[in-house]
Structure 1
Amino acid sequence: MRYTSVAVAAALTLLTVGTAVQGQRGDPAVDARSLALLAKGKALQATGNLDAATDVLETAVTVDPRNREAFVSLAEVAQTRGLPGKAIRLYREALSLDPNDVAALRGQGEALVAKGAVQRAKDNLARIKTVCAKRACPEVAALSASIAKGPPIVTAAATIPTTTVPKKD
């Protein structure tokens, strides 16, 4: 009788732990439809059709929001269009899925330089160097070159209106 309550408690514990472990699912792979859309979007991006590439890549992210590569490709398209703020946000989404993605860190760093946030870009460079401590990464050289180049110089373009003055005869 003394062992009955202990046996019941042990059985309930095993049942609870067994159910909890069985209920947990591993991290499944990215949806195949999203990967197919990603490949199509990259092909459109390579041909220069940025509008169609954006549409297809956004669809890939909608199909599976865990598709980190689709976020990176969308950010690259945004940078190509001269939208560094949007690119920074998209790279942030990719980095929320994998904080050690060196391609996203490099791209975000380049977009930060374009916005003038050189110190934050240097922080990204330090993270890349930490991640790539035991191997050579071309992203280190690429981001270092962007930081050395600095942000683009933007000047206000003064436009002089051209009006026609009627001639007096």
Structure 2
Amino acid sequence: MRYYPAAIALSLICAVSASVGNGATVAPPDAAVELREQGRVALAAGETQAAIDAFEAALAIDPAYTTLYLDLAQAARNEGLRGKAIHYYREMLSRDPNNFAAISGEGEAMVEIGAMEKARRNLAQLQSLCGDSCEETRALAEALTKAPEEKVLTAEAVTPKATVTQN
């Protein structure tokens, strides 16, 4: 009982010092930044595989350099790998849940694969976070309006013709 105030003070000091350490951000190493720039140049030149290699090398140098996931997702979308791009966007969102670029990019990739309802959910999330004037919101809304509505083929629409053949 007499150690109770000391225990509370000690636990408060531990809690405050732990939360301060988690909030600090560290600049990525110069080598990782240089590799990212090389990857962006390669991606702009249409050399997608070289860009992916540079981004992955930068991520190996600094695994906490989370904006690389956005670059990897864009490279995957350029290669036509929508599922892999969605994976990278979700990895970014697991590290930064309110990243507008990741939410918008994931929504655009969803539109590309035809998952319109999920893309609309991303749009609603963006609208609630940053409003309609946000660049990412406008980009996703434009992608949704440009997407053609594909007619879904249902089982009722296809009726098999019964034919009888003799063996």
TM category (shorter chain) comes to 0.7 to 0.9
Superposition RMSD on alpha carbons, in Å? 2.4
Structure 2 portions without partners, runs of 5+: 151-167
Q: Which amino acid aligns with 1:143?
A: L
Q: Which amino acid aligns with 1:43?
A: V
After TM superposition, give the deviation of residue 81 of structure 1 in Å: 1.0
The 10-residue stretch of structure 1 (33-42 or 11-20) with the greater mean CA deviation from structure 2: 11-20
Query: Matches of 1:22 and 1:141 in 2, distance apart?
Result: 41
The 10-residue stretch of structure 1 (141-150 or 123-132) with the greater mean CA deviation from structure 2: 141-150
The 10-residue stretch of structure 1 (26-35 or 73-82) with the greater mean CA deviation from structure 2: 26-35
Going from structure 1 to structure 2, the CA distance change for 1:79 and 1:14 (only over 3 Å counts) comes to same
Query: Matches of 1:87 and 1:131 in 2, distance apart?
Result: 22
Query: Match for 2:94 among 93, 96, 120?
Result: 96
Query: Match for 2:41 among 19, 35, 43?
Result: 43
Going from structure 1 to structure 2, the CA distance change for 1:15 and 1:43 (only over 3 Å counts) comes to same
Structure 1 portions without partners, runs of 5+: 154-169
Residue 53 of structure 2: aligned partner: 55
Provide Cα deviations, 1:70-128, integer angstroms capped at 9, x if missing partner.
00011001111111111111111111111211111111111101111010001111111
Query: Matches of 1:18 and 1:88 in 2, distance apart?
Result: 41
Q: Which amino acid aligns with 1:10?
A: P
Query: Match for 1:150 among 147, 155, 158?
Result: 147
Query: Match for 2:134 among 132, 137, 141?
Result: 137
- Determine if contact 1:115/1:151 at 8 Å carries over to the other structure: no
Residue 156 of structure 2: aligned partner: none
2:121 paired with 1:123: yes
Report SS of the residue matched to 1:120.
Answer: helix
